Structure 1
């Protein structure tokens, strides 16, 4: 469904409301298997940001502030008046931090799922020459701009493995939707813009005052497990372990934003905790629902 042009789905018919802000470059199709586990107990709103999927591209810069405002407008248009739990995964967690500062009255609680920190620049201040020759912020911007300049056919070839792998996971209609999602040059232009605005988004969060006094759960990945793919791709162990140690420190700091913050490590999970260890996220939701 679409409201204000933004593509969204409301899944589940009863129970408290959960709103999900997805990670950078991700689709809401990657969350469907998780949502199936909770849809009998909760209502879930998940959507595609502007420039993702069937949501039209926006002229506004892709900052956390603009994204938070657009989500809030969607919630207004859907006539949602109950408070809800906001889950922000990865870059979606950066957006969730900003949303909480701008619209705290709408929130029951926030879950930051291995979220991007507003102090993420500390990662890029590290001396990691091999890692950042491969995955620097500049590299990610450059690669997404390159993809944005490709045709749908070229993107289909480039992501053929990802497309083929989704066949076993998604139903027919969603498979075709995902194929359109991942082969749309607009997506990659939007991702590049989100990356380019990371500094501005982080500064905006800094300038927006303190995080509200609401329940906050921060769930972090298993740092030893998360280092393994880096090492497999030729990044020295010392660099991978240092990166993961600082990422963990930033997660702990996020949990301290609220006096009602809680920090959890998802043992045995990499970055996509909702796929690797869904039970950890489900348990966190259940505890927050029970809080008064």
Structure 2
């Protein structure tokens, strides 16, 4: 586990200084794919780490990374079993995956401080990283439409109905991501390869199956009540997930996808989500005494690809604050 918070790039660690570095890194759980790029890291400067949502590989962060690499050092990695990383025998709980990230950083000799930027289910992993990492290792967080300890208990998403309906639709087309995104042709090609990697489907299912248990385990840590981030800067960015679900529901009824009961379940879920989603996102502000809330105005759930400039702005704001304090 990393402990030295005063790493100096003059030590010659290419992960912190090379214009671009990508490789498989041996860790105790698996060989994990890691990339690093951007401005050389200066002594004591935070390094940005992107944490993807369930079943998503690191390429989903490329639109944001392109906007910040001129000024900051960024890391993108594929969790075990996703993208170009090999599978791990460890169960796919958020706590285990946070531990694997800590091991990856240790193996690559990338020391704190870290600025964690997480999307969707990645928020649970980032917060487990906060719980299990060295004290003070996290200098800030950007949480983008992330799941919380209450998400599954309060939203009660009908997973069987959702799977039955989504198997017959193009999710990216229905939600508008296919036309509103900042991906390059290379990003899209890489995403296609990542989704067809040998372990991707099984790993994605394993992550999704353990989401409720991971949320319940995080709840036991009481991070909101104890203000676990202290005064480290935090931005909570909310997209419009209810909009995405409503579009899926409309398509399901129009095309008669799934059974009538499944369509009704998903519609009821969309109505419930509309009422509680904003409050669940805002509750995370209690993690830090130095927190702010940002509402994305032109995005559904995947703000990092539809409004990457918004995410980039918050990353740079937090990085600037860390250098002036």
Shift of 1:178: 3.5
Matches within 5 A, 1:184-203: 184-203=197-216
Partner of 2:220: 207
Partner of 1:105: 136
Shift of 1:251: 0.2
**In structure 2, how many angstroms separate the alpha carbons of the residues matched to 1:121 and 1:225?**
18
Question: Is the Cα–Cα contact under 8 Å of residues 153 and 212 in structure 2 kept in the other structure?
Answer: no
Change (3 A) 1:137 1:201: same
Secondary structure at the aligned position of 2:199 is classed as: helix
Deviates more, 1:14-23 or 1:231-240: 231-240
Unaligned runs of at least 5 residues, structure 2: 1-22, 254-262
Secondary structure at the aligned position of 1:248 is classed as: helix
Question: Is the Cα–Cα contact under 8 Å of residues 114 and 218 in structure 1 kept in the other structure?
Answer: yes
- Given candidates 272, 290, 294, the residue that maps to 1:260 is 290
**In structure 2, how many angstroms separate the alpha carbons of the residues matched to 1:183 and 1:227?**
25
Matches within 5 A, 1:43-122: 43-103=73-133, 104-122=135-153
* 1:178-232 alpha-carbon deviations (Å, 9 max, x no partner): 4332123511111111111112211221223432313221100136744542453
Matches within 5 A, 1:13-52: 13-14=39-40, 16-52=46-82
Number of residue pairs the alignment of both structures matches: 268
Matches within 5 A, 1:149-164: none
Do residues 169 (structure 1) and 178 (structure 2) align?
no
**In structure 2, how many angstroms separate the alpha carbons of the residues matched to 1:58 and 1:143?**
30
Larger relative helix fraction:
1
Question: Is the Cα–Cα contact under 8 Å of residues 242 and 270 in structure 2 kept in the other structure?
Answer: no
**In structure 2, how many angstroms separate the alpha carbons of the residues matched to 1:222 and 1:197?**
24
Please, what TM-score do these two structures have when normalized by structure 1?
A: 0.80
* 1:88-132 alpha-carbon deviations (Å, 9 max, x no partner): 10011111111112124211111111001111123444xxxxxx6
Question: Is the Cα–Cα contact under 8 Å of residues 64 and 312 in structure 2 kept in the other structure?
Answer: no
Partner of 1:286: 316
Partner of 2:4: none
The root-mean-square deviation of aligned C-alpha atoms, in Å, is: 3.2
Secondary structure at the aligned position of 1:6 is classed as: strand
Question: Is the Cα–Cα contact under 8 Å of residues 241 and 301 in structure 2 kept in the other structure?
Answer: no
**In structure 2, how many angstroms separate the alpha carbons of the residues matched to 1:246 and 1:17?**
33
Secondary structure at the aligned position of 2:140 is classed as: strand
Secondary structure at the aligned position of 1:3 is classed as: strand
**In structure 2, how many angstroms separate the alpha carbons of the residues matched to 1:195 and 1:87?**
20
**In structure 1, how many angstroms separate the alpha carbons of the residues matched to 2:84 and 2:245?**
34
Partner of 2:37: 11
**In structure 2, how many angstroms separate the alpha carbons of the residues matched to 1:85 and 1:268?**
25
Unaligned runs of at least 5 residues, structure 1: 126-131, 147-157
